[in-house]
Amino acid sequence: MPRQPRVAIIGAGMSGICTAAKLRQAGMTDFVIYEKTGEVGGTWRENTYPGLSCDVPSRYYSYTFAPNPDWTRVFSPGPEIHAYLRRVARELEIVPHVRFNTEVAEAEWLADRSVWRLGTKDGEEREFDFIVSAAGVLHHPRTPDIPGLDEFAGAAFHSARWDHSVPLDGKRVAVIGNGSTGVQITTALAPRCASYKMFSRTPQWVMPIANPRYSRLSRALLRRFPALNRAWGRVGYKFWQQVFEKSFCQAVIRPGWQRRLLTAICRLHLLRLRDPELRRRMRPADQPMCKRMIFASGFYSKFARGQAELVDSPIERVTERGILTADGTLHELDVIALATGFHAHAYLQPIELVGQDGLRLSKVWSDEPRGYRTVALPGFPNFFLLLGPHSPIGNQSLFMITETQVDYALRWIDRWRRGEFTAAAPREDAAETFNAELRTAYPSTIWTSGCDSWYIGKDGLPALWPFTPQAHRDMLATPRPTEWHLTGAA
């Protein structure tokens, strides 16, 4: 009879739900999900700003084991994705395993018994055989250090903490930031405002995208016939996977026709701005895809029609009345939205992980997060990290990446169930070899072509996967026991 592991999952977002679902599918039900808020959904729960949508097609941005018949568009709005995650968690009986409003404070490895002792901020302690971190990547908002921001008399908030009680129609609104979030907010909100201004430090490339609707009839048929929904879900998933992996995923990692084609599309799209001066101001100096690509249609038209105004003079300070820029202009405002991103390399923070011989994760990652094959950490046995350092994130389906990593973790847990070990952690030299392979591949990627982005770590290198998604799946298809320290047997 296989042993039944006790598993702690940190986070009830997309990755946490995936882990729980696959544990249940494998017949393992002794797990707890620790969720710091009162609802599942992760980033799709926290982000509710106007215009929120996903830039990965819905059929591809979903679990392979739970195709959704209810997508209304090829690229879904945020509320639909949140509803999908809530439904999956409910229907797969995951919600009863969630400890809501319970934040993990620390976890310590007890080598004498080969277990983790996990402690929450409210003082509860519990022991587990495995910990899976599904804490996500972009969940710590980055607030810019702008002098006087606290002095503003109007409403000011981060895009991930949108205040829906603040009226926007007919108001003077500004967004600080021109990444994907800033572009989505601008496209949705600018036509509703008396005046709308986007404050931008450096221009970014925008890839045009069509977003057709799925018909009511097709959605009704998929709901009515589950077998058809499963079949169509597989077809849609495979189709969009091939589209992304044969084009965009190739373009970012090596020169070739894919990079030339997507670069040409971005440059042609910029020509929608007929005003040569405005086009010059919105033309980036770096190459397309060097930063996270922005997929949007209708963004440039908001500026061409005068519904939005670009402000590229540096911000000097915020006053009671608005934003003062370096050219001496005071932009009077009612609302300031901060689309300034997240601390992308924070991962588990502020949770403290204490591994073998008192090794602390905060010290190990004091310079830059590093790990083993995107999923594990030397010195931290029976611990798996989803969407960890150097995972193939960016413009990709995080659902696909997470399923690959969860399947890998389950292969190790299955070995534990069979009594092959009691504790397993990757070897330090194996992790070093892996990271050296990454460093060798970076020069051919677009991310090192000369731009500043949240992809880049303190060491000046991208924290991304520089190979194909298929190479990532192949790497995690089979555990490599020779690269691990295995302790004990049942």
Question: 131 and 118 in contact (C-beta within 8 Å)?
Answer: yes
Within 121-215, residue ranges assigned H as helices are 180-189
How many domains does the chain contain in total?
2
333 and 396 together in one domain = no
Considering the domain architecture, whether residues 179 and 295 belong to the same structural domain is answered as: yes
Provide the whole-model pTM: 0.95
Burial category of 384 from C-beta neighbours within 10 Å (exposed 0-12, middle 13-18, buried 19 and up): buried
* pLDDT for 376: 97
Cis (ω within 30 of 0) for the bond into 350?
Answer: yes
| Distance from C-alpha of 209 to C-alpha of 224, rounded to nearest angstrom | 30
Amino acid identity, residue 188? Answer: A
Domain around 307: 149-209+271-338
- Looking at the fold, whether 36 and 133 belong to one and the same domain comes out as yes
Q: Which of 320, 338, 356 is the last residue of a domain?
A: 338
Lookup: tokens for 478: 């089979």
CA atoms lying within 13 Å on the CB side of residue 264:
6
In a shared domain, residues 17 and 132: yes
Determine the pLDDT at residue 345: 64
377 and 426 fall within a common domain? yes
Question: The tokens of 129 are what?
Answer: 């055989």
Instruction: Report the C-alpha gap between 46 and 469 in whole angstroms.
Output: 28
Instruction: Quickly count: other Cβ atoms within 10 Å of residue 320's Cβ.
Output: 9
CA distance 312 to 457: 26
Q: Are 329 and 317 in contact (CB under 8 A)?
A: no
pLDDT in tens, the chain (490 residues): 788 999 999 999 999 999 999 999 999 999 999 999 999 999 999 999 999 999 999 999 999 999 999 999 999 999 999 999 999 999 999 999 999 999 999 999 999 999 999 999 999 999 999 999 999 877 778 899 999 999 999 999 999 999 999 999 999 999 999 999 999 999 999 999 999 999 999 999 999 999 999 999 999 999 999 999 999 999 999 999 999 999 999 999 999 999 999 999 999 999 999 999 999 999 999 999 999 899 999 999 999 999 999 999 999 999 999 999 999 999 999 999 999 987 766 678 788 999 999 999 999 988 788 999 999 999 999 999 999 999 998 778 999 999 999 999 999 999 999 999 999 999 999 999 999 999 999 999 999 998 888 788 777 888 899 999 999 999 999 999 999 999 987 5
Decide: residue 117, CB within 10 A, 0-12 exposed, 13-18 middle, 19+ buried: middle
- Asked whether residue 405 is domain-assigned, the answer is yes
Amino acid at the residue 250: Q
Residues 167 and 300 in one domain: yes
pLDDT of residue 454: 77
> Are 352 and 400 within one domain?
yes
Q: What is the pLDDT of residue 204?
A: 95
Domain closes at, from 338, 369, 395: 338
- 291 and 363 in a single domain? The answer is no
Q: What is the CATH number of the domain that holds 379?
A: 3.50.50.60
Asked whether residue 406 falls in the same domain as residue 448, the answer is yes
Q: Are residues 131 and 193 in the same domain?
A: no
- Expressed in percent and rounded to 5, the helix, strand and coil fractions of the chain are 35, 20, 45
pLDDT score at 312: 96
Task: For tokens 């979903």, name the residue.
Answer: 62
Query: Do 163 and 298 share a domain, yes or no?
Result: yes
Domain presence at residue 78: no
Residues 106 and 194 in one domain: no
